[in-house]
Copies of this chain bind each other. A is one copy, B any other.
Amino acid sequence: MKKLNIGLVGYGFMGRTHSNAFLQAPRFFSVPFQPVLKAVCARNADRVKSFAANWGYESIETDWRKLVDRKDIDLIDIASPNDTHADIAVAAARAGKMILCEKPLGRNAAEAEAMVNAVESANVPNTVWYNYRRVPAVVLLKELISQGKLGRVFHYRAQFLQDWTISQDLPQGGEGLWRLDVAVAGSGVTGDLLAHCIDTALWLNGPLADVTAMTETFIKQRKHALTGKVEPVGIDDASAFMGRFQNGSLALFEATRYARGHKALYTLEINGEHASARWDLHDLHRLQWFDHGDEGRLRGWRSVHITDGDHPYMKHWWVPGLQIGYEHTFIHQFADFLLAAESGKGLSPTFREALATDYVTDAVLRSARSGRWETVAVGQQARV
């Protein structure tokens, strides 16, 4: 089988989920490439060596430019902080590498547009790790919608609720906390959490036309981990918007890191004329389904345990009743990517599709500043 030499940038949380996907995909899926963990790159040589040893990377780099220049690398996986995405992606595209990029694509749509242009000019297979598109329950919902089971859609709601930054003592910036540093992250929960909700929504329910938004930074100043000084906090701690999809349905979205009691509660609900569905990340192996076509007296929300062989991806795993977890979404996406890449294609969400999410998050942040409804940039349509 043809080998696919992978060069990973970043060894943080996402470096681990991606590396696991590289190793696990061939064990559980029939894939057309043999992934090879060729090199991992990060600035701290000691830590990157340790990471490489653990995951079996053959070599290390401490400068991503060198990694990109290596001839023995077929694919660059960008799992480093947001402020590095654009430079690496553009360089990797120019070097003709396939590219996997963590979300959000750019810190803003301008960065993301440059990235899209780069991969489309270079015509390299690419995808963005909006991994929740590969939750079996969410994929099943996509299929149900495509089959027309919902009919006309009236409402789409999504939330991503966390509570891990409530403490005033948490510093901003630095290892593991760069998501709190606006210069690195680009925004707060808007790009980190809301982007997930938006990506899934565009996929399931089509483009958003316009939005009105509200953001808040509850803790105004935090010590910066790198400078040691107490500095203004630039990120948004909470972000919410209302809007209208092009199909006429109403949008209600919210993300926050100040919802005490919720760890990573991404929830979505879609209400159609004939049926409705709900899903959440805390029980990701379940889909809540309401079918108005059921016999009247027995209508109710079904809790479908998505662990059967005829559920998306599940024949590759265990037997009915035995659940999978978070990491499997990355395995699914990588297995799908390999299939697409074999024929030279990118995998949805491609950079272009992920750009659509950046257009929405840009509009959200713009509206939060202006206090007005903002039109989402054209070209945002998900092309699946």
Q: Which residues of A contact B (CB under 8 A)?
A: 13, 17, 20, 23-24, 26-27, 54-55, 140, 144, 154-155, 157, 162-164, 166, 212-214, 216, 218, 238, 240-244, 248, 250, 252, 254, 256, 258-265, 271-276, 281-285, 287, 289-292, 294, 296-305, 307-308, 310-311, 317-328, 371-373
Contacts and interface: CB of A to CB of B under 8 A. Distances in A.
A291 B373 CA distance: 37
Interface of A, secondary structure class, is mixed
A204 to B, nearest CB: 16
Q: Which 7 A-B pairs have the closest CB atoms?
A: A264-B321, A263-B321, A261-B290, A300-B302, A300-B304, A322-B326, A154-B258
Contacts of A243: 214
Nearest to A301: B303
| Oligomer copy total | 4
B240 A250 contact: yes
A322 B264 contact: yes
A242 B212 contact: yes
A312 to B, nearest CB: 9
A144 B297 CA distance: 10
Contacts of A328: 325
A357 B353 CA distance: 43
B297 A305 contact: no
Contact of A296 (B298, B308, B324, B373): B308
B242 A281 contact: no
